[in-house]
Amino acid sequence: MKTTPRYVIYREWIFLSAAVLFSVFLIMFNDSSFNDTLSSYGLDAYSLINYDYFSFREKSAMQKELADLKTKIMYFENNSEAVESAIEENYRLRSMLSIQERDSFEFVYARIAGISPGSTRTILLINAGREKGVGPGDAVITEAGVIGFIETAGESTSRVSLISGRTGKIAVRTEINRAYGILAPLNSETAAIEEIAKGVNVNIGENIFTADFSEVYPPDLLVGTVISVSDSSATINKKILLSFAQNMDTIEDVFVMRRTKKE
């Protein structure tokens, strides 16, 4: 019986191995559509094998969630109808009582353009004027609280009179008992609150807001915080000191409250 020489077998294995390696090289580094198709089939098969079939929720759980969602939708729809009804009733009662609505406002952003000469930092200039709808009497605020009002408005700049330097006085109210008083500035950081009787409870740390009947400022703007309270024996009113909510020496950005509806 004739046998194949061993070197012939080794040679055939070497040729076969080389052919396999060459084929793998062609498959891996060939950008043909056929290879892309094979790759996509392979990825799909791999993802199908490794898919988490147990991630699906039970049918009963999905039905319960759907029922909960429908209940919430119905709840919101019913509340929406109630709110609309309340708004209509509010309008009707206002018209019967001839109550006017409060002004509405738009906020105009502006940056500090400078300090008015000779104002000792009581008049600021901002880079917003009539071209942006800003006009005299508009309140000016920061993120901390109210700082003043537009004294005069030019085409692109305006003068802001700060509450820390006004000769006039501002009507304010306390936070808790809504007691009304008059704010009189002392310096760039503090002010006194006058005309609040001794019998009214005012606490240190209590916020002070603009009053509802202020002729210049809209109501409920934060002015500052009470830092001291004392009862003077010489008067029937309390002596209250307030620290302004905004540091007047560090103002960089402001918002002008431009009225969009005049009463």
Q: Is residue 234 part of a domain?
A: yes
Residue at 49 is within a domain:
no
List b or e across 43-82, with b for residues whose CB sees 16 or more CB atoms inside 10 angstroms: eeeeeeeeeeeeeeeeeeeeeeeeeeeeeeeeeeeeeeee
Domain end call among 77, 97, 117: 97
Select from 154, 156, 152 the least CA-distant residue to 111.
Answer: 156
Number of domains in the chain: 2
pLDDT digits (tens, 9 = 90+) for 95-112: 655 555 566 888 999 999
Query: Is residue 14 a part of any domain in this protein?
Result: no
29-39 residues labelled b (16+ CB within 10 A) or e (exposed): eeeeeeeeeee
Let me know if residue 175 belongs to a domain: yes
- pTM flag (> 0.75): no
Q: Which domain holds residue 191?
A: 170-246
- Tell me the C-alpha distance between 165 and 182, whole Å: 15
Q: Give 6's contacts (C-beta < 8 A, 6+ positions apart).
A: none
Phi, psi of 244 (to 5 degrees): -60, 145
In a domain, 133, yes or no: no
> Is residue 25 included in any domain, yes or no?
no
Structure tokens at 219: 């109501």
- Name the more confident of 2 and 227: 227
Q: Tell me, yes or no, whether 217 lies in a domain.
A: yes
Give the domain CATH number at 207: 2.40.10.350
Bridge partners (DSSP) of residue 192 are 184, 241
Which residue type does 175 have?
Answer: E
| Strand, helix or coil for residue 203 | coil
Tell me the per-residue pLDDT of 133-162, one tens digit each, with 9 for 90 and over. 999 999 999 999 999 999 999 999 999 999
In a domain, 237, yes or no: yes
**pLDDT band at residue 29 using 50, 70 and 90 as cut-offs:** low
